[in-house]
Amino acid sequence: MGSGEGIRIVIANQKGGVGKTTTAINLGASLAVGGKRVLLIDMDPQANATAGLGFEQVPISYRFLLGEMPTEKVIKRTEVENLFLIPSGIDLVGFEVEFSSTEDKHFILSKRLEGLTGFDFIFIDCPPSLGLLTVNALVGGQMVLIPLQCEYYALEGLSKLMNTIEIVKEGMNPELKILGIVLTMFDGRTNLSKQVEEEVRKFFPKQTFRTVIPRTVRLSEAPSFGKPIFLYDASSSGTIAYTKLAEEFIRRIENER
Ligand code: ATP
Ligand code: MG
């Protein structure tokens, strides 16, 4: 790996606020610290990944999708060496409407990603819906990473997501597979978190990552400073967890190949 076409990882869950963006930023940053070249594409009009990496919210991923900006202009260097970003902004909401009736509407991102080289991993941070943006990400990706919050109804909606993944796989992207489920915002003081973990592991023993991301206020503070957790608080339990997740992620990827 190094200069070839990166492995494209879609971070998806139509449920809002489950840790998609936090995982995209911090897993991406941990891998970058480990020497991997990582590109994060912000495919959410909310642009939380963009802000969380300290960038102004500008609809660059939208213009990239429209084909108005060439690849070399849309990719921005971040404060973290080896971590790059295609930023987003609110105008990206227009995508769903503008492309709703075009024939190739599901393949726009996938086409733009053709020939994009120089990264080990390309992370695609999705919005909380199963709309056209998420479907484009699934069509353009190779593996799906699903963050699940250790909360009531954690599993609710998961079958719908898996069903969508199956439909995309059958009709549009046969190579798509689920890389795994990451449990987030685990609170060791509550029985609820433990029960959710147990339940998820019972249903998805192989898919669920061993590493669990704890709930820690440091992880929720870091984005307002525009930094991944390791630059904000290197000794935080969040830094430790995402570093472990990155190691497990690499092992999993190697086993998948
Ligand atoms: P959306 O669906 O809106 O895109 P999301 O799935 O991307 O949301 P995040 O934005 O990553 O979720 O997280 C939701 C909120 O929870 C954010 O305020 C974030 O800072 C916070 N958060 C995420 N993970 C943790 C954690 N492990 N501990 C504490 N807070 C967290
Ligand atoms: Mg998000």
For 81-133, how does the pLDDT look when each residue is reduced to its tens digit (9 = 90+)? 999 999 999 999 999 999 999 999 999 999 999 989 999 999 999 999 999 99
Say if residues 124 and 141 touch (Cβ distance below 8 Å).
yes
- pLDDT, average across residues 177-193: 97
Task: Please tell me the residue having the least CA distance from ligand 1 atom 24.
Answer: 19
Say if residues 82 and 246 touch (Cβ distance below 8 Å).
no
pLDDT of residue 4: 62
Residues surrounding ion ligand 2 at CB below 5 Å: 20-21, 48
Could you give the count of Cα atoms lying within 13 Å of 172 in the half-sphere of its Cβ? 21
**Pocket residues: Cβ below 6 A from ligand 1:** 16-22, 44, 46, 48, 128, 184-185, 213, 215-216, 219-220, 223
- In the predicted model, is pLDDT for residue 134 greater than 50? yes
69 C-beta neighbours (distance < 10 Å), count: 16
Mean confidence (pLDDT) of the chain = 96
- In the predicted model, is pLDDT for residue 3 greater than 50? no
- pLDDT, average across residues 184-203: 96
Q: 173 alpha carbon to ligand 2 midpoint, in Å?
A: 24
**Which of 13, 44, 145, 220 is the pocket-test mutation for ligand 1 (most atoms within 8 Å of CB)?**
220
Q: 99 alpha carbon to ligand 1 midpoint, in Å?
A: 29
Counting residues of the chain whose pLDDT is more than 90, the rounded percentage is 93
Which residue bears the tokens 């993944």?
165
